[in-house]
Chains A and B, each alone.
Chain A
Amino acid sequence: DAGVTQSPTHLIKTRGQQVTLRCSPKSGHDTVSWYQQALGQGPQFIFQYYEEEERQRGNFPDRFSGHQFPNYSSELNVNALLLGDSALYLCASSLVGLNSYNEQFFGPGTRLTVL
């Protein structure tokens, strides 16, 4: 059973460019969340997608946008990159359930470097 997968593993961009990161959820999961982890910090919640809609959003500017596809995979897009966007971007998937806690499973992350 494949876990959460993310691509690419590493990415180098320059200021002002745009980037797209991809995530495939764990088999059977329908919800995807994105987190940004700056060096030496804990992950910060960006947003969560369920049923192809943004369900919850953290304190990130509109330059950060996302999408969820019918197969539950997701993309994170960042426009007008800043040096401060350099971080590890983590994707987590979960399953909406009625009687169980929806544990989030994390992927290995995409390391984005902005020069």
Chain B
Amino acid sequence: AQSVTQLGSHVSVSEGALVLLRCNYSSSVPPYLFWYVQYPNQGLQLLLKYTTGATLVKGINGFEAEFKKSETSFHLTKPSAHMSDAAEYFCAVSLLAGTALIFGKGTTLSVSS
């Protein structure tokens, strides 16, 4: 069965600092991997996705993630945090295109000035 583990329920960084949000997955076959962001009282917005091909994926708002099969990881990074990045971030996996997304429990990112 697929599962997603997000290490750290809360991450705090200073504005301009590196953002690193960790995600590990468990899957019997190569999965599709995603990062979503959720702002208060809103739905989920896709930041980036890995389906096939290049393992370093670039997304919106300066975020990127690297698929590492050997480590079963898909960590999200951003070189320089901005106050507007404060939100809840979810890592998700699915086995087949367009089928159920399995989400992690989320990581709350706080950015201080």
CB contact list, A91-113 vs B, under 8 A: 92, 94, 96-97, 101-109
Contact B103 A58, beta carbon cutoff 8 Å:
no
The answer to whether B97 has its CB under 8 Å from any CB of chain A is yes
Please indicate the chain A residues that have their CB under 8 angstroms from the CB of B99 in the complex.
Answer: 48, 56
Partner of A42, one of B43, B51, B104: B104
**A92 CA / B100 CA spacing, docked (Å):** 10
Bin the interface of chain B by size: 20 to 34
Contact pick for B51, options A31, A94, A101, A107, CB 8 Å? A101
Interface string of B26-47 (1 = CB under 8 A from A): 0000001000100001111110
Which of chain B's residues have a CB closer than 8 A to the CB of A4? 43
The A interface, classified by DSSP as helix, strand, loop or mixed, is loop
Point out the residues of chain A lying under 8 angstroms from B43, CB to CB: 4, 90, 106-109
B101: interface (CB < 8 Å): yes
Report how far A88 CA is from B43 CA in the complex, Å. Answer: 9
Known interface pairs A42-B90, A42-B104; A90-B98 also in contact (CB < 8 Å) = no
Q: Does A44 contact B (CB under 8 A)?
A: yes
Once bound together, how far apart are the Cα atoms of A70 and B103, in whole Å?
A: 29
A86 contacts the other chain (CB 8 A): no
Determine how close the nearest CB of chain A comes to the CB of B53; give it in whole angstroms. 11
B100 touches A45 (CB 8 A): yes
Do A44 and B103 touch across chains, with their CB atoms under 8 A apart?
Answer: yes
Q: For A35, list chain B residues within 8 Å (CB).
A: 101, 103
Report if B82 contacts A (CB, 8 A): no
| B-chain residues with CB within 8 Å of residue A102 when the two chains form the complex | 97-98
Q: Could you tell me if B103 and A43 are in contact, using CB atoms closer than 8 angstroms?
A: yes
Per-residue B-contact encoding for A13-52, CB less than 8 Å = 1, 0 else = 0000000000000000001010100001111110010000
- A binding-site residues for B, Cβ under 8 Å: 4, 31, 33, 35, 40-45, 48, 56, 58, 90, 92, 94, 96-97, 101-109
Given A42-B4, A101-B51, 12 more A-B residue pairs with CB atoms under 8 Å apart are: A31-B98, A33-B100, A40-B106, A42-B104, A43-B90, A43-B101, A44-B103, A48-B100, A58-B100, A92-B44, A94-B98, A101-B98
